[in-house]
């Protein structure tokens, strides 16, 4: 089974190498901003000409928004726009143009309704101060050195890794992996390289293929499993909140940049900003590590994992809980389970967003009309069951697997209450068009975190 996977390693760059990488990232930003300005100018010109009654066949020629079209326009103008273009790799300009092509395509698809999800705005210009330095290489010499502590990238040369790349090197030596691209990016004051790799994976099966586990995520406990296991919520952001507030106050007392007056930030401001960025990066790394360990264990042990289709965006509108919900990473848990279950031969089932998992009694199937968030224990008025609210929801999610099997192995979405909760009875299962199967969910819908 072939799949796309990312291998990410920290880099130890010398000051000279860092300047070269920053030059490539700046070239990507220049190409992006130039192409965006060109696209906006042509759009405005064509709109103005239409107001004067100019026929469509006589309008200013449109600029193709594809990567090939943007690259053709850039190559024709790069001698005047960037006379220094030969000092950096062509992949640097391709990085900025590719990002703009994707952004324009997403904006156009969102306007016409072809792209699902929240509306996407028109692309914006990238700032030298706020944009994250990044450059992507897709051609040229991209390899891992035999010592597994160095990598070679086009025009950047031999870069030292902060950690061993033995996991990727073993696959490359065995011929079960092929590097497709490499992205160098700075996060939290440290440079990283991420390899996008096509991996040939052996067929695997979970430790318990017949096991079904329901996963109910929350704030008090990060996850409550139908097996009765309670996974504690580490609350990394809350733990580091006091430290971050001190660093933020220290940063505010320094002389920072001011665009209105053209003031440049002081050296102390830069050092304070780097300290704050490292603190945020440490919290993100701890959260990422904990979620990966949890989702990997679930995908390797159980044959079927059932989760809910939570409206995380809507939940973040609650200002009292938004910080804790974002710190827990509800959406990230489902995203990682989507591809890890496919890697390990398991299946992921997603309950419908309106399925009343918390309101339904796991014993008799009675459904409550209302259940406030403060009620942490479920009391069934029909059979007298008293159970933890989250454990009751996890048991209901696990019970959905039987309904999926009865309805067929194709759908991964069960239909619950139609926004109005019924007072009694089990929910029905409905086949919804366009829903991916369990195998497709693991290989196509979810991909590992890339650069």
Active site residues per annotation: 216, 308, 390
Query: Would you say the C-alpha torsion 430, 431, 434, 437 has a positive or negative sign?
Result: positive
Burial class (CB in 10 A: 0-12, 13-18, 19+), 302: buried
Q: In whole angstroms, give the CA distance from residue 435 to residue 441.
A: 9
Q: In whole angstroms, give the CA distance from residue 234 to residue 324.
A: 11
Q: In whole angstroms, give the CA distance from residue 187 to residue 170.
A: 27
- Which three-class secondary structure state does DSSP give residue 135? strand
Burial class (CB in 10 A: 0-12, 13-18, 19+), 332: middle
Cα 207 to the chain's mean position, in Å?
28
Buried b (16+ CB within 10 A) or exposed e, 11-37: bebeeebeebbebbbbbbbbbbbbbbe
Report the DSSP pairing between strands 347-351 and 413-414.
parallel
What are the structure tokens assigned to 86, written together? 């030969």
What are the structure tokens assigned to 183, written together? 């992205």
- CA nearest neighbour of 394 among 224, 242, 262: 224
Q: In whole angstroms, give the CA distance from residue 404 to residue 412.
A: 7
Q: In whole angstroms, give the CA distance from residue 37 to residue 100.
A: 11
- CA nearest neighbour of 279 among 226, 242, 312: 242
């Amino acid at each position: 089974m072939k799949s796309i996977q990312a291998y990410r390693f920290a880099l130890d760059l010398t000051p000279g190498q860092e300047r070269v990488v920053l030059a490539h990232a700046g070239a990507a930003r220049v190409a992006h901003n130039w192409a965006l300005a060109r696209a906006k100018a042509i759009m405005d010109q064509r709109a103005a000409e239409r107001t004067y009654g100019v026929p469509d066949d006589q309008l200013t020629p449109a600029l193709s928004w594809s990567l090939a079209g943007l690259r053709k326009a850039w190559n024709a103008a790069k001698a005047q726009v960037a006379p220094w273009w030969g000092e950096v790799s062509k992949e640097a300009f391709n990085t900025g143009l590719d990002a703009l092509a994707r952004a324009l395509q997403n904006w156009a698809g969102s306007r016409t309704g072809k792209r699902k999800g929240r509306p996407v705005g028109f692309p914006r210009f990238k700032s030298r101060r706020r944009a994250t330095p990044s450059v992507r290489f897709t051609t040229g010499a991209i390899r891992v050195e035999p010592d597994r502590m160095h990598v070679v990238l086009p025009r950047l040369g031999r870069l030292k890794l902060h950690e061993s790349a033995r996991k990727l090197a073993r696959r490359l030596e065995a011929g079960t992996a092929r590097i497709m691209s490499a992205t160098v990016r700075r996060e939290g004051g440290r440079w990283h390289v991420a390899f996008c790799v096509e991996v040939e994976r052996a067929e695997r099966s979970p430790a318990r293929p017949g096991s079904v586990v329901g996963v109910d995520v929350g704030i008090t406990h990060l996850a409550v499993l139908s097996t009765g296991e309670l996974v504690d919520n580490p609350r990394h952001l809350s733990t580091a909140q006091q430290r971050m507030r001190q660093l933020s106050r220290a940063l505010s007392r320094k002389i920072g940049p001011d665009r209105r007056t053209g003031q440049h930030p002081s050296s102390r401001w830069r050092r304070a900003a780097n300290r704050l960025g490292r603190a945020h990066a440490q919290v993100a790394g701890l959260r990422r590590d904990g979620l990966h360990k949890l989702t990997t264990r679930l995908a390797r042990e159980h044959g079927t994992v059932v989760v809910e289709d939570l409206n995380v965006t809507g939940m973040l509108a609650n200002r009292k809980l938004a910080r804790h919900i974002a710190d827990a990473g509800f959406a990230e848990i489902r995203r990682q389970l989507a591809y890890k279950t496919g890697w390990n031969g398991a299946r992921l089932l997603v309950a419908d967003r309106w399925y009343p998992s918390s309101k339904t009694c796991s014993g008799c199937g009675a459904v409550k009309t209302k259940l406030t968030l403060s009620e942490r224990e479920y009391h069934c008025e029909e059979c007298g069951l008293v159970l933890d609210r989250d454990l009751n929801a996890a048991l209901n999610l696990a019970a959905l697997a039987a309904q999926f099997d009865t309805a067929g192995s194709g759908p991964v979405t069960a239909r619950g209450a139609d926004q109005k909760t019924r007072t009694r009875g089990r929910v029905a299962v409905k086949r919804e068009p366009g829903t991916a199967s369990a195998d497709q969910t693991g290989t196509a819908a979810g991909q590992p975190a890339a650069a």
